[in-house]
Amino acid sequence: MGGAEARSVRPLPGAPRRKLRNYLLDRRFQLKYTSMVVGVTLVVASILGALAYRESMGQTEALQIQLATQPDLDPQVAAGLEAFGRDRDRQILLGIMLGVGIMTIALGITGILITHKLVGPAYKMKLLFAHVSKGVLRVDGQLRRGDELKDVFAAFHDMVNHLRTRKESEIQRIETAIRQAQASGSGSELTQILTDLRDRMRAELD
């Protein structure tokens, strides 16, 4: 069993490496999930930003009304206060827009990274399923640190090792049958058939 497990772990040919172009392994799923998260966040952030900007403009209007009720106030001072209020409104609006933009970019990158930790293992297991469907009973490589679906991958690994153990037991029985056929002087044709079957089964374990 230990030898089978040692032979069953090999580098996966063609496995995606952590390069920028490989972070979008399933564009449809990853972009759809990321777009949903970014879209909801944009709506909420825009509503909150609009409320904050309206509050700032309300304070500026209140300041203008208060200045209008003070005719003895120096006009230059009043103009300076009004300009200060308008500048503050612009700064708040610019800050809101900048914050929403940064949040959108950050959430977009985060969404792709998070979905990659799901899609990456799924991509690798898809390749492994294709190998097993062809009769190749081995698990090539392991999941990377931080990947999800580790329990599913471990269960798949155990299943393949169980199938390998069963096939090794079947090979042993075939070898016993070959020895018995040779000892009993059975026809070489039967022996050759059993030998070919044993060799094919061994190839699936290598």
Average pLDDT, the chain: 79
> What pLDDT was estimated at residue 123?
80
CA gap 165, 161 in Å, rounded: 6
Q: For the residues 51-66, what does the mean pLDDT come to?
A: 85
pLDDT (tens digit, 9 = 90+) per residue, 97-155? 999 899 889 998 888 888 888 888 888 888 888 878 877 777 777 777 778 788 888 88
- What torsion, rounded to 10 degrees, do the Cα atoms 20, 23, 29, 33 define? -80
Report residue 7's pLDDT band, with 50, 70 and 90 as the boundaries.
Answer: very low
Residue 202 pairs in a beta bridge with: none
Q: Whole-prediction pTM value? A: 0.54
Domain boundaries, the chain: 2-205
In the chain, which ranges are E strands?
A: 9-10, 139-140
Closest CA to 40 of 133, 119, 104: 104
**Cβ contacts of residue 8 below 8 Å, gap of 6+?**
137, 138, 139, 157, 160, 161, 164
Q: Is the pLDDT of residue 5 over 60?
A: no
CA gap 178, 156 in Å, rounded: 33
